[in-house]
């Protein structure tokens, strides 16, 4: 497989959890084992645009138990002989090898994945601000020689970009350091938030300046949080900002 692969460095490694759960997009070359018309292939591809059942293949890093995965879209691109090229957007954890096998079963001729390229991983897209490994090596050598941090920005992006698709809660400056010490986020600390937050979903806690503070699990929906005056709205799971970045505005309970 080739294509987009987000790589995290130092403190940004803490957001891998969010990247693993983000949706993916692939361009796949599927090889049919028998004859099928273009219309038949298009029809069957569209039948998989929904929540599907998948059992991971034999060579997989997870247990082979039946699970559901969401296929957001499958776009037919072209077909030549028994080679079918298509683009698929899917939930994280979808096995495209297994998807090709299942498509072949429905077609009645069998099929397997021949080539695969990841064109999107969460907010990172192939035609966006990504670099090849050769480019990263070149700019790193340039930075070693010049020691100019502006060069680093040519191949290293802010951690916040990886959280672009995660629903966000923006908090008061006075609440930042408490969250950095592991405190759960309570309603008085919330200034604004995005739509789409559900009870139990992952959220990103941000400052008003757009700095990532922590990853948390929401204990209420967007609508519920808007109506809350007190109580916990999100449980802190992963602190991203260093302690002391913002002034301490909370009491430790010590006398």
Distance of CA 224 to the CA centre of its chain: 25
DSSP state letter for 248: -
The reported pTM is: 0.85
- Predicted confidence (pLDDT) per residue in 74-131, tens digit: 999 999 999 999 999 999 999 999 999 999 999 999 999 999 999 999 999 988 778 8
Q: 8-22, 93-107, 169-183, 192-206: which range is least confident on average?
A: 8-22
pLDDT of residue 45: 97
C-alpha to C-alpha distance for 30 and 35, rounded to whole angstroms = 13
C-alpha to C-alpha distance for 65 and 204, rounded to whole angstroms = 30
Domain 2-125 has CATH 3.30.70.3190: yes
Strand, coil or helix: what is 131? coil
Judge whether 117 and 25 are in contact, CB under 8 Å.
no
CATH number for the 166-239 domain, one of 3.30.9.10, 2.30.130.10, 2.40.50.140, 2.60.40.10?
A: 2.30.130.10
pLDDT of residue 105: 96
- In the block, which residue shows the tokens 């670099």? 131
Q: Where are the alpha helices (DSSP H) in the chain?
A: 16-21, 38-47, 96-107, 133-146, 149-152, 173-180, 222-226
pLDDT of residue 17: 82
pLDDT of residue 253: 53
- In the block, which residue shows the tokens 């430790």? 252
Which sign, positive or negative, has the C-alpha torsion 151, 154, 156, 160?
positive
Strand, coil or helix: what is 234? strand
DSSP state letter for 212: E
């Amino acid at each position: 497989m080739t294509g987009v692969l987000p790589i995290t460095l130092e403190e940004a490694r803490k957001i891998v959890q969010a990247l693993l759960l983000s949706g993916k997009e692939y361009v796949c070359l599927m090889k049919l084992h028998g004859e099928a018309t273009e219309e038949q292939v298009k029809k069957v591809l569209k039948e998989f645009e929904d929540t599907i059942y998948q059992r991971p293949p034999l060579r997989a890093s997870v247990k082979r138990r039946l699970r559901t995965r969401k296929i957001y879209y499958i776009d037919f691109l072209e077909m030549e002989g028994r080679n079918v090229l298509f683009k698929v957007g899917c939930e994280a954890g979808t096995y495209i090898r297994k998807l090709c096998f299942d498509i072949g079963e429905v077609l009645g001729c069998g099929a397997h994945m021949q080539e695969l390229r990841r064109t999107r991983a969460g907010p990172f897209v192939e035609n966006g601000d990504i670099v090849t490994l050769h480019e990263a090596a070149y700019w790193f050598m340039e930075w070693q020689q010049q020691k100019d941090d502006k060069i680093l920005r040519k191949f290293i992006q802010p951690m916040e970009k990886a959280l672009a698709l995660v629903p966000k809660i923006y908090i008061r400056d006075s609440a930042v350091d408490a969250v950095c010490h592991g405190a759960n986020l309570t309603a008085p600390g919330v200034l604004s938030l995005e739509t789409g937050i559900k009870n139990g979903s992952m959220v990103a806690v941000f400052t008003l300046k757009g700095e990532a503070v922590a990853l948390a699990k929401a204990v209420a929906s967007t609508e519920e949080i808007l109506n809350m005056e007190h109580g916990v709205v999100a449980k802190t799971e992963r602190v991203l900002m260093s302690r002391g970045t913002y002034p301490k505005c909370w009491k430790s309970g010590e006398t």
